Chain A
């Protein structure tokens, strides 16, 4: 849940990047880390295995600036994508204010996307959160791969985006769509907060 401090006029929101293994969640954060001015971001914390697979989470604190007199900060987390790390996914998901679902656009990964989406819904439900009430955007990553290997954003929308939430085609390595996605989820989370904020 967003933390609004009316005394020191600060807002802190937690955004979780979710999706199947190797879909590009960590790459999103690495790209953001590399492009946001140092004064606006903290150190990126990565709890990863020797093979650089996310073991627990990646974490990147971001300063959005002052909005309506409130210093606004975002905490970006990723979850480990591999199926067997569900226990840690559940932990990272706790208290999320918004979700970026990072899907792998490769046709051969379609079932993995679907499984991860179902897993997200189950884990949120286990925490008493209805996925329909949480700000969420989809990102279809790896759109730079050859056309015969991937599904396009429209095809993926038809197949995965049952709720017709905002979606973005992306290529995290070159950065296409990364900031558009972050901006999309930021808007949803903060507008929801503006509509009915509460003191934490």
Chain B
């Protein structure tokens, strides 16, 4: 499991234990990854986050067109895996959770413990504004070197 901010790790670990989820991804509504469990490649995490955020964004817009409140959650059941997707508010803004589960779990179990995860995250979230932390002064020099390496110029 990896998380951008350490306070997310406890609630997420509890959720993983209880729900038996195979893959879990927490992201911002813009698709930036905040925490993940189960993915082995960083690129796969980013693609899953982009697609998950896209699904949530489009269903939120559909709800708005129907003059209805946003859908809280969506689920897809495949042959081998199920997928659960839900948006929720935290003191840090709106987040999205994407959970993939297998036959050792169930949609009901995932949904039940996801609701607890949302509550736990709200309780653990720091209330103070994030502090500004400036990157090292050598960042710009190394940036130019890295761009040369990547783009071959």
Interface residues of A (CB under 8 A from B): 1, 3-8, 12, 14, 36, 40-43, 45, 47, 56-57, 59, 61, 63-70, 72-73, 75, 77, 87-88, 91-92, 94-96, 179, 182-183, 186-187, 190-191, 193-194, 196-200
Contacts and interface: CB of A to CB of B under 8 A. Distances in A.
Identify which of A63, A64, A182 gathers the most chain B CB atoms within 10 Å of its CB.
Answer: A64
Interface in B108-144: 130-136, 138-140, 142-144
A72 B46 CA distance: 13
A42 B51 CA distance: 14
Nearest to A69: B136
A28 B12 CA distance: 38
B68 to A, nearest CB: 16
B33 A12 contact: yes
A199 B130 contact: yes
Contacts of B32: 1, 3, 12, 14, 95, 200
A197 B134 contact: yes
A74 to B, nearest CB: 10
B135 A56 contact: no
B66 interface: no
Given A8-B4, A94-B57, 15 more contacts: A6-B133, A8-B2, A12-B46, A14-B30, A67-B146, A72-B146, A75-B46, A187-B147, A191-B143, A194-B140, A194-B143, A198-B130, A198-B131, A199-B130, A200-B130
Chain B's interface size range is 35 or more
Given A12-B32, A73-B42, A197 B50 contact: no
Contacts, number: 135
A77 B51 CA distance: 11
Interface string B82-123: 000000000000000000000000000000000000000000
Contact of A65 (B29, B139, B150, B153): B150
Contacts of B152: 179
Contacts of B5: 7, 199
B8 to A, nearest CB: 11
B47 interface: yes
A187 B143 contact: yes
Nearest to B129: A198
A67 B50 CA distance: 24
